[in-house]
Each structure stands twice: as structure tokens, then as C-alpha cells.
């Protein structure tokens, strides 16, 4: 299993997730206060895009680590990398 080892990437991801957490709290407050549905939808869309960016960042980590994860230290061929990407996107995307 791949893990995020680069401390800068890890910190960036945590910051992004905390920002999304704040967005979600704001959306909850908007709903509780009876905000306009269009404004709530706009904020939900923004939060979803931020989560998508975090998802793709983690997915990239998994793709970069995939050849080493199965014990093969040699670089995977482009067609193998494409197959790995398609498999991960089908599974999680």
C-alpha cells in the first residue's frame, strides 16, 4: 500500500482538507440559517471541487508508488501505468 511520504505533500493535503472542513461547517451554518438554495448549492459545488483536488492528489501518490508497491523496482511501462490509472479511477473515481 502506498502512503504519502513527502512531508510537503502531506502538509498541503492536510491544509486542503482542513479548508474543506471549514467550508462544510459554513455550509451547515448556511442551511441552519435558511440561506438561499442557490448560494448553498454554489458552496457545495466549491467544497466538492476542493475534495476532488485532494482526491486527485492522493490518487497521484498511489500511481507514483504503484510499481514499487508490488515489489517491482523497475519503472512500469507507459501502458502498464495507464492500466493502473484506469483501474484506480474505476475503483475510486
- Walk me through the domains of the chain, giving residue ranges and CATH numbers: 7-92 (1.20.58.1000)
Mean pLDDT of 21-27: 97
Contact yes or no for 58/13 (Cβ under 8 A): yes
Residue 33 neighbours by CB under 8 Å, 6+ apart = none
pLDDT tens sequence across 29-56? 999 999 999 999 999 999 999 999 999 8
The CA radius of gyration of the chain, in Å to the nearest whole number, is 18
**More reliable by pLDDT, 69 or 9:** 9
pLDDT tens sequence across 57-89? 888 887 777 655 555 545 667 777 778 778 878
Q: Which helix or strand (DSSP H or E) is residue 35 part of?
A: none
Residue 20 neighbours by CB under 8 Å, 6+ apart = 47, 50, 51, 54
Whether the pLDDT of residue 15 is over 80: the answer is: yes
Provide φ and ψ at 45, rounded to 5°.
-65, -45
Amino acid at each position: 500500500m502506498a502512503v504519502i511520504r513527502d512531508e510537503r505533500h502531506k502538509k498541503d493535503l492536510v491544509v486542503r482538507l482542513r479548508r474543506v472542513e471549514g467550508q462544510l461547517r459554513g455550509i451547515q451554518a448556511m442551511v441552519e440559517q435558511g440561506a438561499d438554495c442557490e448560494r448553498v448549492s454554489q458552496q457545495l459545488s466549491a467544497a466538492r471541487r476542493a475534495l476532488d483536488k485532494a482526491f486527485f492528489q492522493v490518487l497521484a501518490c498511489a500511481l507514483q508508488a504503484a510499481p514499487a508497491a508490488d515489489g517491482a523496482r523497475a519503472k512500469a511501462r507507459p501502458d502498464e501505468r495507464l492500466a493502473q490509472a484506469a483501474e484506480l479511477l474505476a475503483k475510486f473515481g
